Structure 1
Amino acid sequence: MDRSAGLLQRFEEHRPRLRAVAYRMLGSLSEAEDAVQEAWLRLDRTDASTVENLGGWLTTVVGRVCLNLLRARETRREDPLELRMPDPVVSPADGVDPEQEALLADSVGLALLVVLETLGPAERLAFVLHDMFAVPFEEIAALLERSPAATRQLASRARRRVQGQAPVPDPDLAQQRRVVDAFFAAARDGEFEALVSVLDPDVVLRSDAGTGISVLLNGARTVAGQAVLYAKLAPFVRPALINGAAGVVVIGEDRRWSIMAFTVTDGRIVAINVLTDPERLAALDLSAVGD
């Protein structure tokens, strides 16, 4: 086996972890793949015999690439409050394939990724690398060109925000599905109070239609007020797993797609995240849940 083939084989052993790091950092499947590919290109130009810990080295490279992408994204964003929905990982309702399992390890639900989108680049890097992948603060500090103590503070600040704003879904997937099914049944039948009953009083609905068009609704009765819309969608709903949690893919009569991700906690829906951006939906592989 020549050097290049052997090096590629070693790199492929680390690819699942690198994709997971990049996806949590960027919330974009395509950008995550680009970041991992960039890590390979840099490794191929490096004398690997000088790298003592290849996995750690590659994680650091991916972290640096992602940090640069996040900083570039910040400068392009005209409105700091602009809602950007992370790319969902869509699977059939009956299970997630092994490659997706690696990507979604540690219950990286869409609600968590939405909160990560609100963090600054440095905070996000510190939290993701340390709290999710156990990278030492000393290594992260070198990436950020800050002291380990300052890096620790960044991660702590991000951790508080995540714990306060990212709801943890119920572990029982069947129970999640029953709640989501009850939501659409109530909408279909025009049962407003039944719809309210499956929603947490402080439920949040976020919708991203692309090109800066977004909607944010708070409160059970406000969200239930969209019941007419949900009723129209109900006949076109196809059950799916969205980032490993109960959700749906909606295929309208005009073949336009939308994705609805639900976070169910203590038997009630606490968050609904909706992606209707046609450009981003077209880039996702939704063949497993319908055509």
Structure 2
Amino acid sequence: MDSAAVDRFEASRGRLASLAYRLLGSAADAEDAVQDTFLRWQAADRSRVEVPEAWLTKVVTHLCLDRLRSAQARHERTAGAWLPEPLLDGDPMLGPADTFEQRESVSLAVLTLMERLSPTERAVYVLREAFSYSHAEIAGILDITESASQQHVHRARIRVAAERRRGGGETDPASARRVVEEFLAAATSGRTERLVALLTDDVTAVSDGAGLAKRLLQYRTRERVASYVRAGFKPTPAKRRLAGGSPAMHIALVNGSPAVLAVVDDRVVGAVAFEVSDGRVASLHGIAAADRLARLNDAWRQHEPDAPVIDAW
């Protein structure tokens, strides 16, 4: 393959990876899909490809749909043990973030909700909301009609909106960080009343159980979430042994939202991402499985973090 063809692909790599990550919720799987797309590009009769960007977008989208529809993926995702892979702020795989819809589409909350969509609904939603493709373009990418594209995105928007039920729009990062700092202080001090007051009425919490649970641990209602948080943030010798030491607690942006990162010897051993709405915590996603934190850890080691909120937990 000549250098011009390689350069043309490389010019699209970032966008393809961002699209694949939104479709699959996994950076590792997204990288595999992009590499497979490159192999298809390498083998293609490129003289017959009129618009390379459109061709590459169609190939990577269909590769992602194949993965979403595979028996292995269906088993993993329906078995109740799947959470999206968190990415540190600045990761190029997070892709475009110019609009609210683009930022929202990559949040852990929405990536988790999109698991409830069919693969085609998910693809149409991502192509439309995050990448602003027209329905005519989406129809060409997915080999469906424009009418079907419109119906899919309409259903997807309704389902996502119905599940989120959040008011207040976006919260600015500084305000969200202050809420998380106050939340962390209440959680580690055992101030249950203040902890409950910082949660929305319809708060939800999801956790992979420190990476050990076979199924996701899910909590609803302010009291149950507060109880889970109080227990989870209470340090014990067993937890320190599991973490490999006494973690420092940092606050950073993960998938566009504030998150508490537990760090031991420059290694992130756990992440809790928060969705903040109207000055209170609307959802929490706790992830500690090592394979889900691999890319975040790579980024963290090249990152200049703020001082920890808690030096040693």
Which TM bucket (shorter chain)? 0.7 to 0.9
Q: Secondary structure at the match of 1:260?
A: strand
Cα displacement (A) at 1:118: 1.8
Amino acid at match of 2:47: S
Q: Secondary structure at the match of 1:85?
A: coil
| Larger deviation, residues 150-159 vs 99-108 | 99-108
Partner residue of 1:207?
207
Partner residue of 1:181?
181
Q: Gaps spanning 5+ residues in structure 1: where? A: none
From the superposition, tell whether residues 31 and 100 of structure 1 become closer, same or farther in structure 2 (CA, over 3 Å). Answer: closer
User: Pick from 59, 76, 82: which aligns with 2:57?
Assistant: 59
User: Pick from 244, 251, 274: which aligns with 1:262?
Assistant: 274
From the superposition, tell whether residues 235 and 33 of structure 1 become closer, same or farther in structure 2 (CA, over 3 Å). Answer: closer
Cα displacement (A) at 1:116: 1.2
Alignment of 1:1-291 (within 5 A): 4-73=2-71, 76-77=74-75, 80=78, 82-91=80-89, 96=90, 99=92, 102=95, 106-107=102-103, 108-141=106-139, 144-166=142-164, 167=166, 170-208=170-208, 209=211, 212-226=214-228, 227-232=230-235, 236-251=248-263, 257-282=269-294, 284=296, 285=298, 286-287=300-301, 288=303
- C-alpha distance in 1, partners of 2:182/2:191? 11
Could you tell me whether the CA contact under 8 Å between 2:250 and 2:261 is conserved in 1?
yes
Between Structure 1 and Structure 2, how many residues are aligned?
Answer: 282
Q: Secondary structure at the match of 2:262?
A: strand
| Larger deviation, residues 125-134 vs 224-233 | 224-233
- C-alpha distance in 1, partners of 2:132/2:84? 23
Q: Secondary structure at the match of 1:77?
A: helix
How far does the alpha carbon of each residue in 1:186-240 deviate from its partner, in whole angstroms, 9 at most, with x for none? 1222211111111111110001236632100012121111213223289632222
Amino acid at match of 2:147: A
- C-alpha distance in 2, partners of 1:46/1:79? 32
How far does the alpha carbon of each residue in 1:51-74 deviate from its partner, in whole angstroms, 9 at most, with x for none? 222111111111110000000056
From the superposition, tell whether residues 34 and 79 of structure 1 become closer, same or farther in structure 2 (CA, over 3 Å). Answer: closer
Could you tell me whether the CA contact under 8 Å between 1:203 and 1:218 is conserved in 2?
yes
Could you tell me whether the CA contact under 8 Å between 2:79 and 2:215 is conserved in 1?
no
Cα displacement (A) at 1:246: 0.9
How far does the alpha carbon of each residue in 1:21-41 deviate from its partner, in whole angstroms, 9 at most, with x for none? 101100000111111111111
- C-alpha distance in 2, partners of 1:78/1:176? 32
Amino acid at match of 2:260: V
From the superposition, tell whether residues 244 and 41 of structure 1 become closer, same or farther in structure 2 (CA, over 3 Å). Answer: same
Q: CA RMSD in A?
A: 2.7
| Larger deviation, residues 260-269 vs 230-239 | 230-239
From the superposition, tell whether residues 214 and 30 of structure 1 become closer, same or farther in structure 2 (CA, over 3 Å). Answer: same
Amino acid at match of 1:207: S
Identity %: 35
TM-score by length of 2: 0.80
Q: Secondary structure at the match of 1:127?
A: helix
Amino acid at match of 2:263: I
Q: Gaps spanning 5+ residues in structure 2: where? A: 240-245, 309-313
How far does the alpha carbon of each residue in 1:74-123 deviate from its partner, in whole angstroms, 9 at most, with x for none? 664177361421001024xxxx36x3563666212111111112211111
TM-score by length of 1: 0.86
From the superposition, tell whether residues 191 and 235 of structure 1 become closer, same or farther in structure 2 (CA, over 3 Å). Answer: farther
Could you tell me whether the CA contact under 8 Å between 1:249 and 1:259 is conserved in 2?
yes
Could you tell me whether the CA contact under 8 Å between 1:176 and 1:267 is conserved in 2?
yes
Amino acid at match of 1:152: Q
From the superposition, tell whether residues 205 and 252 of structure 1 become closer, same or farther in structure 2 (CA, over 3 Å). Answer: farther
